[in-house]
Structure 1
Amino acid sequence: KCLNSDQMKANSPNVKKVFIQRDYSEGTDIKFQMKFPQELEEYIDRQSFEHLIDTLNTIYSDAETMSGRTCCESCLACITAYLTYICFDTYYDKKCLNSDQMKANSPNVKKVFIQRDYSEGTDIKFQMKFPQELEEYIDRQSFEHLIDTLNTIYSDAETMSGRTCCESCLACITAYLTYICFDTYYDKCLKKVSAFIDEQNDTIWKPRNLYVTDPIERGLRVIEIVIYEPMASHPTADHPNADNTNSNSVTNNRKP
């Protein structure tokens, strides 16, 4: 997650990429250079760029700082042969492995929520209705494929079978200690959902300035779809021409 953050990759051949290099002047700690690239001058102001890099550097520095908490995590992991990592996220995970969520909470995005479908009961199922807010970004077929696949996986996960019955009985007999040693079938289905959403985001949704959030992050109540608004709606005072430039860039990413 940290190394594959939510990058909106355009499919246009005239896309340019700017790489911000690591800063090794103070050692090998994770830190990026604050130098403002000339290629970005007509798109964004220096202050916004420096705020981004400074915030990232602060988070990475905090995650790598040796503290009593991180020492205890390391010692406890060694003592329990790393079984504790199966049970909870480390401090580093909580600090760094949420780059997609950080971008989804930025001020230049809109969010669309796909509600649960309770027409057939309380099983996990989401509505297939295509939101009007997404019409200019993605086609109906891609949306319905996403929702239908998710509903199929959740239905399979909740199906009562001999395997799930054995898992439940074994968990009761061992006071749920077996859950530390292996994932249940339901857990595997949730991981399958996460992998499917990641694949869909990378191939279909991100190139269209959209991002689908894993439903488990919203308690399986809704599916959150983030719409990244064009930067043209927030032009900088230093660069009045940025409006036309960014508007054309975003238009290339949308569905024809």
Structure 2
Amino acid sequence: SGWLSTGPRVARLEEDFKSYIGCKYAIALNSCTAGLHLALEIAGIGAGDEVITTPLTFVSTVNVIIHQGATPIFTDVERKTGNIDSRKIEEFIKKNCKFNPKTGQLVNRQTGQLVKAIIPVHLYGRPCKMDEIIKIARKNNLLVIEDAAHAVEACYKDKKIGNIGDLAAFSFYATKNVVTGEGGMITTNNGEWAKKLRVLRLHGLSKDAWKRYSQEGFTPYDILYPGYKYNMMDVQAALGIHQLKRVEKNLKIRE
């Protein structure tokens, strides 16, 4: 592509990935952890908020909640799958929380803090019971942010993981089924979120770096938000493009 950093190969991987998942938007990042962090950021989750998640997960799921100044709320997992148990989520809400219909907010009566989201983790690639989780979330005005680090090929009731919740983060780390060395992807069907995610992933720049040096010549840019250094490199994306082509074949081999 002529680029080492974020460029046309990253854009190609994003197009291929959103086609594979069936979602409207896919934004390439340098890790799944970055995806989870930006998901919380884009959702406005921060100090004084609470996020329901599973205790059986890699530490990054919880780290991003803490880094946002929010509090993780652990509800138990299913014995058979190790995935978060939707019945335990509902039990926690009924026992500890009160929904305010005027504000549309779920309040933890014990702490006085707002419960804002659920992060289900599709442990080892086995999907959580997303219809039950979505039902609970919609009833209580909660966002669903999927930790799909293990779940690039996973489906739930014939729908791809990454196209069910409000946002989903995938990992392309060396031990995953699509590998870019280090890398990740965040998916959503919300156009406004996708637009802001692209800006936040690279220092808040209003234009992609490679597009600023296109055939049309250099174009100025603005810093729209205090962003992060979470962008993927073209070198990584080149690996990911070919890895994604093989993912279904590799799945059949493992089966």
What is the TM-score of this pair, normalised by structure 2?
0.24
| Larger Rg over CA atoms | 1
What is the TM-score of this pair, normalised by structure 1?
0.24
Higher relative helix content:
1
